[in-house]
Amino acid sequence: MIKLFYSKDWPFDSTANKLDYELLDTGEGEKLERFGKYVFVRPYEDAVWSKTMGMKEKWAKADAKFWSSKVGAKAGWKMNKKIESKWEMEYKGIKFLASPTPFRHLGFFPEQASHWDFIEKKIKEWQDVRRQGSPDVGRLQPIKFLNLFGYTGVASLFALRAGAEVTHLDASKQTLASAKENQKLNTELAKAPMRVIEDDVLKFLEREEKRGNKYDAIIMDPPKFGRGPKGEIWKIEEMLPKLLSQVRKVLSDKPLFVILTSYAVDSSSLSLGYALADTMKDFKGSIEVGELCVLEKSNSRVIPLANTAVWSRDMV
């Protein structure tokens, strides 16, 4: 069964304490979003329907637009007003920076909020179960959480707040600098145990296997194409089986969850689910597959933006 993963907690009305992100409208190959005080137009090729008539003025007054090379224009941002290089945003008490990047992104992926909720909830629940069953609570080891292709680290911050010991990995030095900056924004987490590592994912996992390091929870968002810090080539259709094989080798004996997400156009949630199910076949748990979505303000539609598969250990 295909599930729609989305958070209902991105606030939509002016009476809320925070109005940090809204998907305002979609249509005609684009999406209209508000990130903090700025409104952006970005490509969304799957929007093969019309824009909402009542939103035309908002589309016209957007603060910036990212042009895709696919439409024949010069690719990149066109700013209609002066926009800060970065600004602070927040989701459920976790702060992070938004910033226009050369790749159309704004420094985080709003549709992944449902995964942030899941990560924090699962880690807290399992630690409560362990505490209740342990005669020596003080000697319990924290959940070890690994974020592969970790980007700017929002998921890592939710794991940190839940009490996990976090390893955050990405091949981009600039992205990792943003992850460290985001951690510092959250003063209560600034000194929490988070290793931030610049490395090629497969090489890192191979070394972790040799060192005998194990993880209880893993999240990964492999790109369709990318390069490691030493020019390593990544192609998801070729490398995903090897990635999952290496992930299996660094899992603890009783893993808590594994999350796999893909923005590759030709991927599907079912194929991700089958691959993850094969990886986790030796463990007792269940898999959910589906699409990461955001609720659209103009029509209350659930807009799909990525495919995902989630394996989780049964809590009993």
Q: Are 215 and 260 members of one domain?
A: yes
Q: Are 122 and 263 members of one domain?
A: yes
Last residue of a domain, one of 22, 50, 85: 85
Q: Are 162 and 308 members of one domain?
A: yes
Please report, for the domain that includes residue 262, its CATH number: 3.40.50.150
Residue 2: inside a domain:
no
Q: Are 138 and 249 members of one domain?
A: yes
- Quote the tokens at residue 158: 């939710």
Q: Are 66 and 126 members of one domain?
A: no
DSSP bridge partners of 41: 32, 65
Residue 114: inside a domain:
yes
- Residue pLDDT tens, the chain, 316 long: 689 999 888 865 444 556 689 999 999 999 999 999 999 999 999 999 999 999 999 999 999 999 987 666 678 999 999 999 999 999 999 999 999 999 899 999 999 999 999 999 999 999 888 777 665 545 578 999 999 999 999 999 999 999 999 999 999 999 999 999 999 999 999 999 999 999 999 999 999 999 999 999 999 999 876 666 666 666 777 789 999 999 999 999 999 999 999 998 677 999 999 999 999 999 999 999 999 999 999 999 999 999 999 999 986 5
277 is in which domain, residue-wise?
A: 110-313
Contacts (Cβ under 8 Å, ≥6 apart) of 275: 240, 241, 244, 260, 309
According to DSSP, residue 254 is labeled: S
Residue 21: inside a domain:
yes
Q: Are 42 and 175 members of one domain?
A: no
Provide the strand spans (E) within the chain.
Answer: 2-5, 21-27, 30-35, 38-43, 64-67, 76-79, 87-91, 94-98, 144-148, 165-170, 194-198, 217-220, 225-227, 233-235, 257-262, 285-295, 302-313
- Quote the tokens at residue 167: 């390893």
Residue 47: inside a domain:
yes
Q: Are 123 and 73 members of one domain?
A: no
Per residue in 246-295, pLDDT (tens digit) is 999 999 999 999 999 999 867 799 999 999 999 999 999 999 999 999 99
Residue 91: inside a domain:
no
Residue 99: inside a domain:
no
Q: Are 174 and 220 members of one domain?
A: yes
Residue 95: inside a domain:
no
Q: Are 196 and 243 members of one domain?
A: yes
Q: Are 244 and 118 members of one domain?
A: yes
Residue 237: inside a domain:
yes
Q: Are 159 and 32 members of one domain?
A: no
Please report, for the domain that includes residue 22, its CATH number: 2.60.40.1180
Number of domains in the chain: 2
Q: Are 144 and 284 members of one domain?
A: yes
Nearest to 111 by CA among 6, 264, 29: 6
